[in-house]
């Protein structure tokens, strides 16, 4: 495609391309796998491990497992919303409106001392979910950043000459 035709066709939205990128596909796959792994752990071996904990650690376990579940559900909602953009089921603008219902800052984990009381597997899931949360927040900030104003397509040399002329006229 010639440069002139690409300008006439309009600029490609970086944000929409990002939703279809390999980076998003990997994040989606890893995020949904983490949701499944966490559910399986909490319903299986995690339940057994929690019964062996002392009372104070069991309370931390209950609190942190709820935070973890809530965090992952918010992240899964965001991922599914943006997969809909990737699949063409909604526009990025529609996703931007809907994502206001998703709380990416939801349920930060408790303090390190409390987390240390938990079984190693739950600590690992919490750490991985926190990393996923940071990755999603970074991608969200990039995808939903304010779009720069469109520059009128014209001759770039004329524009530069106009800027030079304006600069020299203001000095005189």
User: Exposed/middle/buried for 20, CB within 10 Å: 0-12, 13-18, 19+?
Assistant: middle
Tens of pLDDT, residue by residue over 28-37, are 999 999 999 9
Q: Are 71 and 129 in contact (CB under 8 A)?
A: yes
**What whole-number distance in Å separates Cα of residue 71 and Cα of residue 66?**
8
User: To 5 degrees, how large is the angle CA 73–CA 78–CA 81?
Assistant: 120
Give the whole-angstrom CA distance, residue 91 versus residue 86: 9
User: Does residue 155 register a pLDDT over 80?
Assistant: no
Q: What integer is the mean pLDDT of 41-52?
A: 96
Give the confidence band of 3 by pLDDT, cuts at 50, 70, 90: very low
Question: What Cα–Cα distance (Å) separates residue 143 from each residue in 63, 65, 92, 112?
Answer: 32, 30, 9, 32
SS3 48: helix
**CATH value of 12-171 in 3.40.50.1980, 1.10.8.930, 1.10.1030.10, 3.40.1390.10:** 1.10.8.930
pTM of the predicted structure, to 2 decimals: 0.73
Residue 168's CB is within 10 A of a number of other CB atoms, namely: 9
- Three-state SS across 114-156? HHCCCCHHHHHHHHHHHHHHHHHHHHHHHHCCCCCCCCCCCCH
Q: What is the mean pLDDT of residues 59-65?
A: 96
């Amino acid at each position: 495609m010639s440069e002139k035709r690409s300008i006439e066709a309009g600029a490609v939205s970086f944000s929409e391309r990002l939703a279809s990128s390999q980076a998003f596909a990997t994040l989606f796959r890893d995020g949904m796998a983490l949701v499944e792994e966490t559910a399986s752990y909490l319903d299986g071996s995690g339940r057994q491990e929690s019964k062996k904990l002392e009372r104070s650690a069991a309370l931390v376990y209950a609190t942190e497992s709820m935070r973890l579940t809530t965090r992952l559900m918010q992240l899964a909602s965001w991922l599914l919303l943006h997969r809909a953009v990737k699949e063409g089921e909604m526009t990025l603008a529609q996703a931007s409106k809907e994502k206001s219902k998703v709380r990416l800052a939801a349920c930060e984990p408790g303090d390190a001392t409390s987390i240390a009381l938990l079984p190693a597997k739950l600590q690992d899931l919490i750490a991985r979910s926190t990393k996923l949360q940071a990755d999603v927040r970074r991608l969200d900030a990039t995808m939903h950043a304010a779009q720069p104003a469109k520059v009128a397509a014209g001759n770039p040399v004329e524009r530069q000459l106009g800027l030079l002329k304006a600069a020299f006229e203001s000095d005189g």
